[in-house]
Amino acid sequence: MGPSGFVAVIAGWITTEVGRQPYTVYGHLLTGQSHSPLAAPAVATSLVAFVLVYFAVFGAGTWYILHLMRNPARPQEAEPDQALVRTVGITPAPALSAAAGE
């Protein structure tokens, strides 16, 4: 599931771009009118910036996960006293014999 976020972003981008094409294809909007008003160098700069940011974030995430995997697991606490162990959300009820005797 690691790269699923990246795949979702790219799939969304592809869906957005492909969704614009039916208007061009069916004659409602000419191809010359549907292009971006940006110059080619601006689009290329934007693409390079996105690629660099994606690789930086992916690289940092990969480094962090590998860093976590490199360190062995360490116990954070001493062994708990068995009398104090509780299950989450469950508190012991008073004994029935003690409640009935009062």
Could you tell me which residues come within 8 angstroms of residue 96 by beta carbon, excluding any fewer than 6 positions away? none
* Domain-embedded: residue 101: no
Name the average pLDDT for the chain.
Answer: 77
Number of independent structural domains in the chain: 2
* Integer CA distances (angstroms), 28 to 18, 19, 36, in order: 15, 14, 17
* Domain-embedded: residue 60: yes
Which amino acid belongs to residue 14? I
Contacts by 11-15, CB closer than 8 A, 24 or more apart:
none
The string of pLDDT tens digits covering residues 32-67 is: 777 778 888 998 999 999 999 999 999 999 999 999
Q: 27 and 50 share a domain?
A: no
The string of pLDDT tens digits covering residues 82-94 is: 665 556 666 666 6
* Domain-embedded: residue 14: yes
Q: Which of 17, 13, 49 is nearest to 34 (CA)?
A: 17
- DSSP code of 35? S
* Domain-embedded: residue 70: yes
How far is 24 from 21, CA to CA, in rounded Å?
5
Q: 41 and 31 share a domain?
A: no
Token pair listed for 67: 């860093």
Which pLDDT score is estimated for 28? Answer: 72
pTM beyond 0.75: no
Q: 2 and 31 share a domain?
A: yes
* Domain-embedded: residue 48: yes
Q: 70 and 56 share a domain?
A: yes
Q: How confident is the model at residue 1 (pLDDT cuts 50, 70, 90)?
A: confident
Mean pLDDT of 58-80: 82
State which residues form the domain around 55. 37-74
* Domain-embedded: residue 83: no
